[in-house]
Amino acid sequence: MDVSFSSAVSGMQTVIKRQEVAANNIANVNTPGFAESDARQSEMTPGGVRISNISRPPNADRTTSNTDLAKQAVDLLKNKNEMKANAAVIKTQDTMLGALLDIIA
């Protein structure tokens, strides 16, 4: 598998996991004592990313959730843009491969 393709696929998988974490945080915004989760990603060799850790620091206030909706909204927009960028990489690679096959044939 080509490195650019596998990098884009791993990027999409990472975005999906981060989207799940953000959705869980938003769904629990009114849950008393809920602690917001954060998905950390790390690089893979020779290319790509993966979720290395999902952390949940303790919430000191047991009566409310510590979910920051503004941060979650920014994360959702960032996830959307990263997904579009990774899809563009795959589409470009597909176009280039098609052009190469046209030249060879």
Query: pLDDT-based confidence at 95, cuts 50/70/90?
Result: very high
Q: What is the reported pTM?
A: 0.84
At residue 42, what are phi and psi to the nearest 5 degrees?
-140, 160
Answer yes or no: are the C-beta atoms of 63 and 30 closer than 8 Å.
no
Strands 38-43 and 49-55: antiparallel
At residue 93, what are phi and psi to the nearest 5 degrees?
-65, -40
Domain map (residue ranges) of the chain: 3-104
The residues near 6 (Cβ < 8 Å, ≥ 6 apart) are 47, 48
pLDDT digits (tens, 9 = 90+) for 3-32: 778 899 999 999 999 999 999 999 999 999
pLDDT digits (tens, 9 = 90+) for 56-68: 988 878 888 999 9
Strands (E), 1-105: 38-43, 49-55
CA distance 104 to 2: 19
